[in-house]
Chain A
Amino acid sequence: MNDAHLDFGDMIENAPCAYVSLSPGGRIELANHTFLSWTGYAADQTAGKRLSEFLTMAGRIYYETHIAPLLRMQGSFEEFAIDVIKADGQPLQMIANASERRDADGKPLSIRLALIRATDRRRYEQELLGAREIAKASEKAAEERLQREHEASELREQFIAVLGHDLRNPLASISAGTRILDRTAQTEKEHQVIAMMQTTVIRMAGLIDNVLDLARGRLGGGIGLDRDAGKPLEPVLMGVVDELRLASPGRVIEAEFKINHAVNCDRSRIGQMLSNLLGNALTHGASNKPVVVHAVTRDESFELWVSNAGEPIPAAAMDKLFEPFFRANAHTSRQGLGLGLYIASQIAKAHGGELTVSSTREATRFTFSMPLLPADA
């Protein structure tokens, strides 16, 4: 008997897995010792009974609808979960492989199942499934939040667009009113006040343009261009410089233009960009130093830069300069909405060019450059 461990029958009986052989109809014909000890049944309680009787109801349905047909079709089926009801009524979660033994004609002789206990593994699987459900739910919630945010922000931008548009008409009335008053103004003081009102109107009109461009850009319209290479750019740029000189008495604006080639651009947009860049330089630059405007055409590009002296832009602010509503430390009441540089960079992009910045102790310079394309490009 010392050699019992070498006996083939013993190897089957006391295998580290439960081992069951069924008739083709699903009745238990043989069950090894491991199956009986795991489940707590005596041999005569199982023999001749249908395996289904020892399964949970879910297991029975699954066996009848999946395992039994699969064994007939493909002869074997592996790695399926199955729950056996033990003698004490408790379920035992198992994983099984099954195969159908057939005779020479392919007729089924028996069905064999090897089962291992899988309580921990099944619990782990359930936890994974649970975690997946939670992840799915939280992803869905995040998406919904994002969608709501998106809708709210779109509504805000529509509001801005409508507001900006509606502000234009009253502003036009004020502008017309100041021109009428200017004709009949008597004293130097009256002329000064009217001039101040007119520059304020120009400044407000610029702010409204920026706001409308923001809303249009954000609402998907983008910044539209009306390019015209046939008309000169220089008078437009000069006009912007004059306007700002008028609006900023006591400040020096030096302008140098070397525009020798036609620039295929939207002139009023480039004017708007220069106005934004100049306004920015006048607001943030040292008030006792000149602001310099430079525009030049090279062989294949057009370049426009505006530079001012004064404190350099803090490194931390550099990344955000071109974002909408970005404002440096509000040290002066002349701060705008923080849209000027954003709109300027959008105009640069629309022209296929770019707006860059460099800032040192000596000077802060915003440079716009765009490729010089033929008019029909």
Chain B
Amino acid sequence: MMFAHGFGCDQNMWRFVAPAFEKDFRTVLFDHVGAGGSDLGAYEKTKYSSLAGYADEVVEMGRELDLRDAVFVGHSVSGMIGVLAAGKAPGMFGKLVLVGPSARYIDDEGYKGGFSAKQIEELLQFLESNHMGWSAQMAPMIMGNPDRPELGQELTNSFCRTDPEIAKAFARVTFTSDNRGDLARVAVPTLVLQCSEDIIAAQEVGDFVNHTIPNSRMIVLKATGHCPNLSAPEEVISAMRTFV
């Protein structure tokens, strides 16, 4: 069972959920290249300028780990990364769990994604105001000494640290993506976990994903917000258990 985090954080997003499946599954947690503890040297602007690049990364890992018929659990934008990865490597993933997925964030004719293009531009600008404890001075200590985490400990923020340039690029990739055309091609059973009152991926956005993927069902969680894996892990775990 492979857990993929979304925009904004790293594999710590799954810290309350993944352990519950360790008994029945081999669990795989990772940070997307550019996020968390990943090797920033491996970040290539071109490769990671589309979700397909992130899906390639997932497939590369799946091949390395020899995953067959695995469960892919993707939060937020990683839901679509999983949809793409499953299409790229048939047989690697036998089931998809999409937590708070959205096939397109920006409104389009006949489609409501929840955001306007202008609002997404504002987000990209706003991200520059939030460096997440990352400064040019600290960056070499964090990046250059992954084996010595104590060097980074004086930072107030120890999770979800991201190079602001990469964070901005990932935000752009995430919020300008459009994967509506990929949903119908999903060939494996899919579970959509939909939160109540999620402003990132609203009910109708989740409905669209659920209706368009051929073999999909949806569970609407009582949990509010966009991160039920942190705010309501038990509910997420029991919903997943009905499926896997």
CA distance A62 to B162 in the complex (A): 14
Q: Which of A77-85, A162-170, A230-238, A361-369 contacts the other chain? A: A77-85
Question: A69-B13, A73-B12 known; A64 and B126 CB under 8 Å?
Answer: no
CA distance A125 to B226 in the complex (A): 29
B46 at the interface (CB under 8 A from A): no
B9 at the interface (CB under 8 A from A): yes
* CB pair A65 B224 closer than 8 Å: no
Can you report 30 A-B residue pairs in the complex whose CB atoms are below 8 A from each other? A50-B197, A52-B199, A56-B126, A57-B123, A58-B119, A58-B123, A58-B125, A62-B127, A64-B200, A65-B7, A65-B8, A65-B76, A65-B200, A66-B130, A68-B226, A68-B227, A68-B231, A69-B227, A70-B160, A72-B227, A73-B12, A74-B159, A77-B156, A77-B157, A78-B157, A79-B156, A81-B126, A81-B129, A126-B128, A126-B129
A289 at the interface (CB under 8 A from B): no
Q: Provide the B140-161 mask, 1 if CB < 8 A to any CB of A, else 0.
A: 0000000000000000111110
The minimal Cβ–Cβ distance linking A58 to chain B, given in whole angstroms, is: 4
Interface residues of B (CB under 8 A from A): 6-9, 12-13, 15, 76, 115, 119, 122-123, 125-130, 132-133, 156-160, 175, 197-200, 224-227, 230-231
Contacts of A125 in B (CB 8 A): 129
- Across chains A and B, which 8 residue pairs bring their CB atoms closest together, nearest first? A65-B8, A58-B126, A81-B129, A72-B230, A58-B123, A57-B119, A64-B226, A58-B122
CA distance A24 to B224 in the complex (A): 10
List which A82-119 residues lie within 8 A (CB) of chain B.
83
CA distance A56 to B115 in the complex (A): 12
Smallest CB gap from B223: residue in A: A25
The minimal Cβ–Cβ distance linking B165 to chain A, given in whole angstroms, is: 11
Smallest CB gap from B157: residue in A: A77
A60 at the interface (CB under 8 A from B): yes
Smallest CB gap from B118: residue in A: A57
- Among A66, A72, A83, contact of B8 (Cβ-Cβ < 8 Å): A66
A217 at the interface (CB under 8 A from B): no
Smallest CB gap from A121: residue in B: B129
A310 at the interface (CB under 8 A from B): no
Contacts of B156 in A (CB 8 A): 77-79
Smallest CB gap from A118: residue in B: B129
A336 at the interface (CB under 8 A from B): no
Contacts of B115 in A (CB 8 A): 57
* CB pair B231 A72 closer than 8 Å: yes
* CB pair A25 B126 closer than 8 Å: no
* CB pair A81 B130 closer than 8 Å: yes
CA distance A308 to B122 in the complex (A): 76
Q: Which of A56, A61, A65, A125 has the most CB of B within 10 A?
A: A61
Smallest CB gap from A23: residue in B: B224
A26 at the interface (CB under 8 A from B): yes
A129 at the interface (CB under 8 A from B): yes
Smallest CB gap from A82: residue in B: B130
Q: Which of B13, B225, B226 has the most CB of A within 10 A?
A: B225
Smallest CB gap from B162: residue in A: A66
Smallest CB gap from B226: residue in A: A64
Smallest CB gap from A108: residue in B: B231
A312 at the interface (CB under 8 A from B): no
A122 at the interface (CB under 8 A from B): yes
Smallest CB gap from A24: residue in B: B231
CA distance A335 to B230 in the complex (A): 83
Question: A64-B200, A65-B9 known; A25 and B119 CB under 8 Å?
Answer: no
The minimal Cβ–Cβ distance linking B163 to chain A, given in whole angstroms, is: 15
A59 at the interface (CB under 8 A from B): yes
Question: A73-B230, A77-B157 known; A61 and B13 CB under 8 Å?
Answer: no
Contacts of B132 in A (CB 8 A): 66, 80
* CB pair B9 A62 closer than 8 Å: no
CA distance A66 to B158 in the complex (A): 13
The minimal Cβ–Cβ distance linking A78 to chain B, given in whole angstroms, is: 5
Contacts of B158 in A (CB 8 A): 74
Contacts of B76 in A (CB 8 A): 65
Contacts of B227 in A (CB 8 A): 64-65, 68-69, 72
CA distance A135 to B175 in the complex (A): 29
- Among B8, B126, B128, B159, contact of A59 (Cβ-Cβ < 8 Å): B126
CA distance A150 to B129 in the complex (A): 39
Contacts of A79 in B (CB 8 A): 133, 156
Smallest CB gap from A81: residue in B: B129
* CB pair B225 A122 closer than 8 Å: no
